[in-house]
């Protein structure tokens, strides 16, 4: 039985079109300054949301410390980048600093993950939130990261045109890694833990092992995204990456749909771009933003809407199956005849 | 700690059939017990099960039957006693480790992976067959495709034994009740157990489904040559498929024997069967 995964191909295709359009606009200069500035942050939020979806959607645990991991990666990565500036070629510098940022964030993921593994649900959410805040406070108080005044990233600052290719590669990497995890034995184990922990253990799945792995992998991508983000500002303060950012990422994940990679991407783009697009409405823009959010949440949580969706997809699947069965029956008939 | 006890039919604490005579028991419980606070939920539970035996565990509600399964699978740690699986002491092992040692189980309240497909429910349990690490999966190394293909084939084979191959793509949570119960058994079998624990497999089933289940239970034993230990309130099923029966009341064994012996045991009739009739 061979199964082609058209869903994943569609996501990659949509991403490629999206990148091609944005890249074309960016490099031909057909894009406003404001929009240019939004580009890298949007990509960062895509990476953050898709990676957090591994924790929230696939593992089914609420983590509110994602901004902390991103912050840890951002500062170490940018420090590495500052040190390496002029010593190595720019592409190598970006790659090394993103790798180091990701790895440091992954270590933080492990450090946060280990003691909080026994916690679940609300308790885990609150603890990860606290851990994120602790990371923020530590960075704010370290001399090497510039303390409360923030880290001066002025001379490694790069424009959207320079960062665009790296951002594209990082988004592709994140999305592909998440897809591959989802469709692997490990992904099944992770989703099994989400759906029923006790049953998962009863079939030999080591819950601790997978939970830690998920935390570490998600933190790695958050860290790498942070490094990218750090490079599009002349100064970065840890204080700007507090729990509000973590919650914003969570909102994107929930809005896009639990475990839905395409949803996370789309929601990240829309939620990051929406407030900017609503600038014309000035005073009302946050209000509209909030109303849109509430409406989507209510609608996607509505039993009738859900059952309608199941009905449509279920009918489609059934048709496909029937057609396949008919084909096979025909084949069998031919063979007998 | 390996035990060299061989099974002798009719001798305490053993139950079984001639077929398993002289073989080592797949499961042996020695003075197994657990307290919840002051409550002795299970006390001095002694049982030995032959490697291809179907054994029933019956008793009134709250007798401690499910608790025994939870002790065997390490959901709870025993307060006293020993569990030997093929002579190996399970002391200190975790639930996943016990599964790898060869105990598969189903649950009284169905516990499927509702949001996953039927096929994925089975494949998730195939750690023996589908064996590769995170890196292989992420990098899609050749081993990934090989193992996945093999896994899918084996899972489909298992599903087709129980006539569920057509539901492979369905969401497990959307299956009708009877099929959910069946899938839980298939999933437990996918772990390649030597001992299968079934907790009230016929609960909520209609007579036709129960008859089919009885056939399936025998089919599993014959085809996979494993031992089955089952909890059930349906006396028709128990008396028909079980070769040995163990009756529990207030956490203690009150009788053990063949179905005929149990049916004629006055203590059992009073504690369990008799009471059942009044309801
Ligand atoms: N985790 C626990 N903490 C405290 N008491 C428990 C726990 N689990 C079970 N018990 C108690 O142990 C006793 C045995 O429960 P158990 O679930 O094993 O019964 P059972 O024989 O499976 O009953 P049923 O036929 O209703 O399923 C009950 O009195 C129950 O309340
Ligand atoms: Mg029970």
Which is higher by pLDDT, A312 or B263? B263
Which residues make Cβ contacts (< 8 Å) with residue B78, sequence separation at least 6?
B32, B33, B34, B71
Which is higher by pLDDT, B121 or A260? B121
**B84-88 long-range contacts, CB within 8 A, separation 24+:** B84/B1, B84/B3, B84/B25, B84/B27, B84/B28, B84/B29, B84/B30, B85/B26, B85/B27, B85/B194, B85/B195, B86/B24, B86/B26, B86/B194, B87/B1, B87/B2, B87/B3, B87/B4, B87/B24, B87/B28, B88/B1, B88/B2
- Supply the pLDDT for residue B269: 81
Phi/psi of residue A48, each to 5°? -60, -45
Instruction: Establish, for the pair of chains A and B, how many residue pairs have beta carbons separated by less than 8 Å.
Output: 106
Q: pLDDT above 90 covers what percent of chain B?
A: 79
Which is higher by pLDDT, B79 or B9? B79
Nearest to A180 among B100, B123, B138 (CB): B138
Phi/psi of residue B164, each to 5°? -120, 10
Closest to A152 (Cα-Cα) out of A94, A238, A233, A227: A233
The response to whether residue B61 sits with its C-beta less than 6 Å from ligand 1 reads yes
| CA distance linking residue A60 with residue B112, whole number of Å | 15
Q: Which domains does chain B have, with CATH numbers?
A: 1-102+192-279 (3.40.50.300), 112-189 (no CATH)
**Which region among A132-141, A239-248, B90-99, B266-275 has the lowest average model confidence (pLDDT)?**
B266-275
- Supply the pLDDT for residue A284: 75
Asked whether residue A264 carries a pLDDT value surpassing 60, the answer given is yes
Return the DSSP state at B195. Answer: E
**Which region among A269-283, B94-108, B202-216 has the lowest average model confidence (pLDDT)?**
A269-283
Q: pLDDT above 90 covers what percent of chain A?
A: 46
**Which region among A127-141, A193-207, B189-203 has the lowest average model confidence (pLDDT)?**
A127-141
Environment class of A294 (CB within 10 Å of its CB; exposed 0-12, middle 13-18, buried 19+): exposed
Residue A196 contacts B where some CB pair is shorter than 8 Å: yes
Specify the residue with its C-alpha closest to ligand 1, atom 19: B62
Which residues make Cβ contacts (< 8 Å) with residue A12, sequence separation at least 6?
A172, A175, A176
Model confidence pLDDT, tens digit, residues A157-213: 888 888 999 999 999 999 999 999 999 999 999 999 999 999 999 999 999 999 999
Would the CA dihedral through A187, A192, A193, A195 be positive or negative? Answer: positive
Chain A residues near residue B169 by CB distance under 8 angstroms: 317, 321
Model confidence pLDDT, tens digit, residues A35-49: 788 889 999 999 999
Residue of B36, B60, B234 with the most ligand 1 atoms within 8 Å of its CB, for mutation: B36
Phi/psi of residue B114, each to 5°? -60, -35
- Supply the pLDDT for residue A282: 66
| Protein fold of A6-275 | ABC transporter involved in vitamin B12 uptake, BtuC (1.10.3470)
Q: Which two tokens stand for residue B271?
A: 């504690």
What is the rounded average pLDDT of the residues B252-266? 89
The pLDDT confidence band at residue B128, using thresholds 50, 70 and 90, is confident
Region of A86 (left: φ > 0; alpha: ψ -120 to 50; beta: rest) is: left
Return the DSSP state at B40. Answer: E
Angle in degrees, 0-180, between the axes of helices B142-161 and B177-190, rounded to the nearest 10 = 130
Nearest to A202 among B99, B120, B131 (CB): B99
- Supply the pLDDT for residue A278: 73
**A33-39 long-range contacts, CB within 8 A, separation 24+:** A34/A276, A35/A276, A36/A159, A36/A160, A37/A160, A37/A232, A38/A272, A38/A273, A38/A276, A39/A160, A39/A164, A39/A167
CA distances from A188 to A117, A157, A226 (A): 19, 41, 29
- Supply the pLDDT for residue A274: 77
Residue A179 contacts B where some CB pair is shorter than 8 Å: no
Would the CA dihedral through A175, A178, A182, A183 be positive or negative? Answer: positive
Asked whether residue B45 carries a pLDDT value surpassing 80, the answer given is yes
Listed by start position, the domains of chain A span 6-275
The pLDDT confidence band at residue B2, using thresholds 50, 70 and 90, is very low
Ranges of beta strands (E only) in chain A are: 151-152, 235-236
Asked whether residue A337 carries a pLDDT value surpassing 80, the answer given is no
Record: contact B174-A188, CB cut-off 8 A: no
Record: contact A184-B138, CB cut-off 8 A: yes
What is the rounded average pLDDT of the residues B85-97? 94
What is the rounded average pLDDT of the residues A133-150? 87
Asked whether residue B270 carries a pLDDT value surpassing 70, the answer given is yes
- Supply the pLDDT for residue A295: 79
Angle in degrees, 0-180, between the axes of helices A66-84 and A207-230, rounded to the nearest 10 = 50
Asked whether residue A83 carries a pLDDT value surpassing 70, the answer given is yes
Q: What is the dihedral of CA A216, A221, A225, A230, to 10 degrees?
A: 30
Q: What is the DSSP string of A115-158?
A: HHTT--HHHHHHHHHHHHHHHHHHHHH-TTTTGGG-EE-GGG--
Which is higher by pLDDT, A87 or A292? A87
The pLDDT confidence band at residue A242, using thresholds 50, 70 and 90, is confident
Which is higher by pLDDT, B244 or A314? B244
| CA distance linking residue B72 with residue B241, whole number of Å | 22
**pTM of this prediction?**
0.88
A143-182: string of b/e by CB count within 10 Å (b at 16+)?
Answer: eebbeeebbebeebebebeebbebbbebbeebbbbbbbbb
Phi/psi of residue B273, each to 5°? -65, -40
Asked whether residue A6 carries a pLDDT value surpassing 80, the answer given is no
Is the Cβ–Cβ distance between B229 and B27 less than 8 Å? Answer: yes
- Supply the pLDDT for residue B7: 59
What is the rounded average pLDDT of the residues B89-106? 96
Asked whether residue B1 carries a pLDDT value surpassing 60, the answer given is no
Asked whether residue B11 carries a pLDDT value surpassing 70, the answer given is no
What's the longest Cα–Cα distance across chain B? Answer: 65
Q: Ligand 2 center to residue A63 CA distance, Å? A: 35
Give the strand order in the sheet containing B103-105: B103-105, B195-199, B227-231, B54-58, B244-249, B252-257
Q: Which residues sit opposite B244 in a β-bridge? A: B55
Q: Which two tokens stand for residue B272?
A: 């369990």
The average confidence (pLDDT) of chain B is 90
Q: Which of A5-14, A159-168, A282-291 has the highest mean pLDDT?
A: A159-168
Specify the residue with its C-alpha closest to ligand 1, atom 30: B62
What value does the CA radius of gyration of chain A take, rounded to a whole number of Å?
22
The pLDDT confidence band at residue A2, using thresholds 50, 70 and 90, is very low
Is the Cβ–Cβ distance between B239 and B259 less than 8 Å? Answer: yes
Model confidence pLDDT, tens digit, residues A84-131: 988 989 899 999 999 999 999 999 999 988 888 778 778 888 999 999
Nearest to B120 among A181, A188, A200 (CB): A188
Is the Cβ–Cβ distance between A228 and B141 less than 8 Å? Answer: no
The average confidence (pLDDT) of chain A is 86
Pairing outcome for strands A235-236 and B103-105 = unpaired
Q: Which two tokens stand for residue A19?
A: 């990148």
| CA distance linking residue A71 with residue A152, whole number of Å | 15
> Which of A191, A202, A215, A216 should be substituted to probe chain B, the one whose Cβ sees the most B Cβ atoms within 10 Å?
A202
Model confidence pLDDT, tens digit, residues A198-240: 999 999 999 999 999 999 999 999 999 999 999 988 888 888 8
- Supply the pLDDT for residue A299: 75
What is the rounded average pLDDT of the residues B247-275? 84
Phi/psi of residue A276, each to 5°? -70, -40
The pLDDT confidence band at residue B3, using thresholds 50, 70 and 90, is very low
3-class DSSP state of A86: coil
- Supply the pLDDT for residue A228: 93
Q: Which ligand minimizes its atom distance to the CA of B251? A: 1
């Amino acid at each position: 039985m061979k199964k082609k995964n058209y869903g994943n191909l569609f996501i990659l295709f949509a991403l490629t079109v999206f990148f091609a359009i944005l890249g074309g606009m960016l490099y031909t200069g057909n894009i406003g300054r404001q929009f240019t500035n939004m580009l890298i942050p949007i990509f960062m939020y895509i990476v953050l949301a898709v990676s957090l979806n591994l924790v929230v959607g696939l593992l089914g645990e609420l983590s509110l410390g994602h901004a902390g991991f991103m912050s840890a990666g951002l500062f170490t990565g940018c420090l590495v980048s500052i040190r390496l500036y002029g010593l190595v070629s720019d592409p190598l510098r970006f790659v090394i600093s993103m790798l180091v940022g990701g790895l440091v964030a992954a270590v933080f993921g492990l450090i946060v993950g280990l003691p909080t593994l026994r916690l679940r649900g609300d308790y885990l959410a609150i603890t990860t939130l606290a851990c994120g805040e602790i990371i923020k406070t530590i960075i704010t108080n370290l001399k090497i990261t510039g303390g409360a005044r923030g880290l001066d990233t002025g001379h490694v600052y790069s424009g959207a045109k320079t960062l665009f290719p790296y951002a594209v590669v990082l988004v592709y990497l994140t999305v592909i890694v998440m897809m591959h995890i989802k469709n692997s034995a490990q992904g099944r184990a992770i989703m099994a833990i989400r759906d029923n922990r006790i049953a998962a253990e009863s079939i030999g799945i080591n819950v601790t092992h997978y939970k830690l792995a998920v935390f570490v992998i998600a933190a790695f991508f958050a860290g790498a995204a942070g490094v990218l983000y750090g490079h599009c500002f002349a100064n970065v303060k840890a204080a700007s990456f507090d729990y509000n950012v973590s919650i914003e990422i969570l909102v994107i994940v929930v809005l896009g749909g639990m475990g839905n990679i395409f949803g996370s991407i789309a929601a990240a783009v829309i939620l990051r771009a929406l407030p900017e697009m609503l600038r014309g409405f000035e005073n009302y823009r946050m209000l509209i933003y909030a109303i849109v959010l509430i409406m989507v949440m209510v609608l996607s949580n509505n039993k009738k809407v859900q059952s309608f969706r199941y009905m449509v997809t279920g009918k489609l699947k059934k048709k496909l199956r029937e057609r396949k069965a008919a084909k096979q029956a025909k084949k069998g008939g031919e063979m007998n005849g | 700690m390996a035990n060299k006890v061989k099974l002798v039919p009719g001798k305490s604490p053993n139950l079984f059939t001639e077929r398993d005579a002289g073989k080592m028991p797949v499961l042996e419980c020695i003075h197994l017990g657990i307290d919840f606070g002051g409550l002795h939920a299970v006390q001095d539970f002694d049982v030995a099960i032959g490697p291809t035996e179907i054994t029933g565990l019956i008793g009134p509600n709250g007798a401690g039957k499910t608790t025994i399964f939870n002790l065997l699978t390490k959901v709870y740690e025993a307060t006293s006693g020993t569990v030997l699986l093929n002579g190996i002491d399970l002391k200190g092992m975790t639930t996943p480790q016990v599964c790898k040692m060869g105990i598969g189980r189903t649950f009284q309240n169905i516990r499927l992976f509702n949001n996953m497909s039927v096929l994925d429910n089975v494949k998730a349990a195939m750690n023996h067959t589908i064996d590769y690490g995170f890196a292989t999966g992420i990098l899609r190394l050749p081993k990934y495709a090989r193992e996945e293909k093999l896994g899918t084939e084996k899972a489909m084979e298992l599903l087709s034994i129980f006539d569920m191959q057509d539901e492979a793509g369905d969401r497990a949570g959307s299956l009708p009740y009877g099929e959910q119960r069946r899938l839980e058994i298939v999933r437990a079998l996918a772990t390649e157990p030597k001992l299968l624990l079934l907790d009230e497999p016929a609960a909520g089933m209609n007579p036709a489904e129960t008859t089919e289940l009885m056939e399936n239970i025998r089919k599993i034993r014959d085809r996979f040559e494993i031992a089955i230990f089952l909890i059930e309130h349906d006396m028709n099923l128990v008396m028909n498929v079980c070769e040995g029966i163990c009756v529990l009341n207030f956490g203690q064994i009150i009788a053990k024997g063949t179905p005929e012996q149990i049916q004629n045991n006055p203590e059992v009739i009073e504690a369990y069967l008799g009471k059942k009739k009044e309801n």
